[in-house]
Structure 1
Amino acid sequence: MNNQQAVTADRADGATGDGERDGPRHAEMELVVVTGVSGGGRSTVARALENVGYYVVDNLPQALMVTMAELAYRSGGATRRTAMVLDVRSRAFSTDLAGAVRALRERGFRPHVVFVDADDEVLIRRFESVRRSHPLQGEGRLADGIAAERSLLAGARAESDVLIDTSQLNVNQLRARVEELFGTPDVRTLRITVLSFGFKYGLPPDADFVVDARFLPNPFWVPELRDHTGLQPDVSAYVLGQPGAQTFVSGYAELIGASAAGFEREGKRYLTVAVGCTGGKHRSVAIGEALAGRLRDAGLAAHAQHRDLGRE
């Protein structure tokens, strides 16, 4: 479609002059339309898209697709990556998804249509496992509802850009597939926070690992170091120069590095490693900085934070 045709389409729909000028730029927006059979995994796809930074609108009436896309485009920021999830259970659902997608394209948008499917036998097992009926089943059998929905969605399936068959995929595999298709490498990477803290102030509630650095001599009892913190070179050198300190840091770096890939496969995107000492001023800060550095050297996205620094 050329620009003149796009402008003509905008005028036919009553668009404003601003809308006409925006048309060619709509293609810059990352727009995904998700539909598919009930029980196929639409909800998992929606959550995965949220994980990679999409603004997700669930159960959107098909008639509002163009309006929603325009609003998202004009809002800018995070909504420039928007996903619309269409559900056959919506009263406003129609069989003309192809027409709705065509209307988006006439406005200059370039939507990616994702259709989520699965074998009938798999769908039946999924519905039976949660003990609920199919939304189109009515008084008939579960298989009747699945067949009715397939007929309703036949056009949408044929028009899809991406077809994901979830018959042999578990939740984690489906999520990883969506992130592979629509995520950026940075978004899919596990991000590790090494958080220093003082045991006297309590454990961090979001800690995945808790590391205790209190086996090392406390710089608090060294007069020239007492008023300094673990961020300062003299304290850091003192702490890391103690017997066992470097082995301690190396051991935990290897442990976290060995488990990072597994956490990513299981869908975890943020990992908190809490390093504690008595007050969170000297030992935990120095060890935390050293551990974060070792993790970065190993190619992991890690940074250090210090919860209780300055409380003493």
Structure 2
Amino acid sequence: MTSEPPPTTVPTGIPALEQSTPAPAGETPELLVITGMSGAGRSRTAAVLEDLNWYVVDNLPPQLLTQLAGMMTTSAGGVTRLAAVVDVRGREFFADLVHVIDQLRDAGMRYRIVFLDASDPVLVQRFEAVRRPHPLQGEGRILDGIAEEREMLRGIRERADVLIDTSDLNVHDLAHHVRQAVLGGGEETLRINVLSFGFKYGLPLDADHVVDMRFLSNPYWITELRHLTGRDAPVRDHVLGLPGAQAFLERYVDALEPVLAGYEHEDKRYATVAVGCTGGKHRSVALAEALAHALRDRGHRVVVSHRDLGRE
């Protein structure tokens, strides 16, 4: 019998996950099997993977893994990254997990196993905090259920590519370690949406920051600019050339830097900066585009959208 490679233990220096089966780089479909002790953070791990655009299936019977993996595709818009949470909630179904993993390996499927664990005292504390029984507890104590689960998981734990001990991790720490493992040691950057809008149509409901550009004179009152938008060079150059526009832009980007860094530290993955003017056509559009450009120059991942452009 071929020996399994030793697992990588997290969080003591998490390298990239090793592939359990060799696979060519590119668009090859990839499967993550998320398993481990109840109360160790499987649900949180699944949520993090969803934020990373993985297709996540929770509480999947192991027997369906091969069928689900077979439905993955390399075509555009298809599912190429699938994460399946498999655990003892499957009861008798779970006993076949090791056998199913062998089938995946023999079929050449590119898969990886992430195992979540925690110490017995921490698991007991977590179950007591939520006032829920352990799924294998039955009429016994929480510790009885934990002991039975450890025995059931022994085989799959030995095959894990990554072990994450969550005993001393909060939810933000766990998310950080999961992202670092899945992304091969790199961090996913915060996604920033710069959104222009018109105040007369109401504030964007999802805005984290609102910037009011009505302190600049309105190009609407200039006949040759009225029919144009902030995307057109004459309006853009006019707006950015107004007194105070460039100074505001530079200082606002500087002010945003510690905020964005704080968002990443607190595990916030998306932020919306709403830039408004009266109608959302001239000033806000020009400044939104300029703000996005300035943020990209500093290494941020930014998309721009214009909510009210063309509404007039």
Task: Sort the TM-score into its range (normalised by shorter chain).
Answer: 0.7 to 0.9
Superposed displacement of residue 220, structure 1: 1.5
Question: What's 1:275 paired with?
Answer: 275
Question: What's 1:7 paired with?
Answer: none
Is the deviation greater in 237-246 or in 289-298?
A: 237-246
Question: What's 1:210 paired with?
Answer: 210
Question: What's 2:170 paired with?
Answer: 170
CA offsets per residue over residues 64-92 of structure 1, 9 Å max, x none? 22222112258885422111111201134
Question: What's 2:5 paired with?
Answer: none
Change in 2 beyond 3 A, CA 1:269/1:98? same
Superposed displacement of residue 179, structure 1: 1.2
Is the deviation greater in 90-99 or in 206-215?
A: 90-99
Superposed displacement of residue 304, structure 1: 2.3
TM-score by length of 2: 0.86
Q: Distance in 1 between matches of 2:22 and 2:302?
A: 40
Question: What's 1:126 paired with?
Answer: 126
Superposed displacement of residue 49, structure 1: 1.7
Question: What's 2:230 paired with?
Answer: 230
Query: Which letter does structure 2 place at the counterpart of 1:190?
Result: L
Q: Distance in 1 between matches of 2:138 and 2:206?
A: 45
Change in 2 beyond 3 A, CA 1:212/1:186? farther
Q: Distance in 2 between matches of 1:85 and 1:250?
A: 46
Task: Say whether the 8 Å CA contact 1:52–1:183 is kept in structure 2.
Answer: no
Number of equivalent positions? 291
Query: Which letter does structure 2 place at the counterpart of 1:135?
Result: P
Change in 2 beyond 3 A, CA 1:223/1:185? farther
Change in 2 beyond 3 A, CA 1:278/1:186? farther
Q: Distance in 1 between matches of 2:98 and 2:48?
A: 24
Within a 5 Å distance, the mapping from 1:48-197 to structure 2 comes to 48-73=48-73, 77-183=77-183, 188-197=188-197
Q: Distance in 1 between matches of 2:146 and 2:107?
A: 34
Query: Which letter does structure 1 place at the counterpart of 2:159?
Result: E
Question: What's 1:19 paired with?
Answer: none
CA offsets per residue over residues 12-69 of structure 1, 9 Å max, x none? xxxxxxxxxxx99799321111110000001111112222222112111122222221
Question: What's 1:246 paired with?
Answer: 246
In structure 1, runs of 5+ residues without a counterpart are: 2-22
Q: Secondary structure at the match of 2:267?
A: coil
Change in 2 beyond 3 A, CA 1:25/1:170? closer
Q: Distance in 1 between matches of 2:167 and 2:130?
A: 17
Q: Secondary structure at the match of 2:126?
A: helix
Task: Say whether the 8 Å CA contact 1:62–1:86 is kept in structure 2.
Answer: yes
Is the deviation greater in 227-236 or in 144-153?
A: 227-236
Question: What's 1:45 paired with?
Answer: 45
Question: What's 1:9 paired with?
Answer: none
Higher RCO (CA-CA < 8 Å; seq separation 6+)? 2
Q: Distance in 2 between matches of 1:169 and 1:187?
A: 18
Question: What's 2:29 paired with?
Answer: 29
Q: Secondary structure at the match of 2:220?
A: helix
Task: Say whether the 8 Å CA contact 2:23–2:110 is kept in structure 1.
Answer: no
Query: Which letter does structure 1 place at the counterpart of 2:60?
Result: L
Q: Secondary structure at the match of 1:299?
A: coil
Change in 2 beyond 3 A, CA 1:24/1:173? closer
CA offsets per residue over residues 80-120 of structure 1, 9 Å max, x none? 21111112011343334322211111111132111100011
Q: Distance in 2 between matches of 1:134 and 1:282?
A: 59
Q: Distance in 2 between matches of 1:215 and 1:112?
A: 54
Change in 2 beyond 3 A, CA 1:287/1:94? closer
Is the deviation greater in 247-256 or in 162-171?
A: 247-256
Q: Distance in 2 between matches of 1:268 and 1:246?
A: 29
TM-score by length of 1: 0.86
Task: Say whether the 8 Å CA contact 2:191–2:300 is kept in structure 1.
Answer: yes
Q: Distance in 1 between matches of 2:246 and 2:74?
A: 53
Q: Which structure has greater helix proportion? A: 1
Superposed displacement of residue 210, structure 1: 0.5
Is the deviation greater in 65-74 or in 238-247?
A: 65-74
Question: What's 1:14 paired with?
Answer: none
Q: Distance in 1 between matches of 2:226 and 2:300?
A: 33
Q: Distance in 1 between matches of 2:227 and 2:112?
A: 58
Superposition RMSD in Å: 2.4
In structure 2, runs of 5+ residues without a counterpart are: 2-20
Q: Distance in 2 between matches of 1:59 and 1:75?
A: 27
Change in 2 beyond 3 A, CA 1:205/1:106? same
